[in-house]
Structure 1
Amino acid sequence: MTIFGTTLDTMAVFSLISMLTLLVYWMFVLREEKRWLSWFRGWEADRKARRLAEEDATNAPASGQTSSKKGPWG
């Protein structure tokens, strides 16, 4: 077999097919990794939102008044 003026023997064809197969495999791996990372970021954001909502519910004043303290140092 000749491609671009180069004769390819059996080993060259096999290595070319192997490299293309490996490239396709890593494309699937990368796609699944991105999908998992996206799921994890969403899960982490939901967990943080639930935790903050629970903290706000437990720290809310009983009379319904909002606290005048704002910011991280009160």
Structure 2
Amino acid sequence: MTVFGQTLGGQELFALASLLTLLVFWLFVLPREHAYGRWFKRWEAERRARRLGQEEEPTSPTGKPRGPWG
């Protein structure tokens, strides 16, 4: 087989097929990775908001924290 004037043997054809397979693989995997990253960031922000909401509850009768031990 000849590609761009270069004769390709068995190893070259295998390497070309492998690279094309890898490209197709990443075309399917990369969008999922981005979606997972967006989901994780959203989940982390919601978790942080819930934690901060719990910590903002008053710890003393006056509503102000009195130090590291409450």
TM-score range, shorter chain: 0.5 to 0.7
Relative contact order (alpha carbons < 8 A, sep ≥ 6): 1 or 2 greater? 2
State the alpha-carbon separation in 2 of the partners of residues 59 and 33 from structure 1: 40
Deviations 1:16-71 (A, max 9, x none): 01111112223433322222111111001001111222223x228879xx97xxxx
**Tell me, which stretches of 5 or more residues in structure 2 are unaligned?**
65-70
Q: How many residues align?
A: 64
State the alpha-carbon separation in 2 of the partners of residues 22 and 54 from structure 1: 47
**% identity of equivalent residues:** 47
Partner of 1:35: 35
State the alpha-carbon separation in 1 of the partners of residues 2 and 50 from structure 2: 63
State the alpha-carbon separation in 1 of the partners of residues 49 and 60 from structure 2: 20
**Tell me, which stretches of 5 or more residues in structure 1 are unaligned?**
68-74
Q: What is the root-mean-square deviation in Å for CA atoms of aligned residues?
A: 2.6
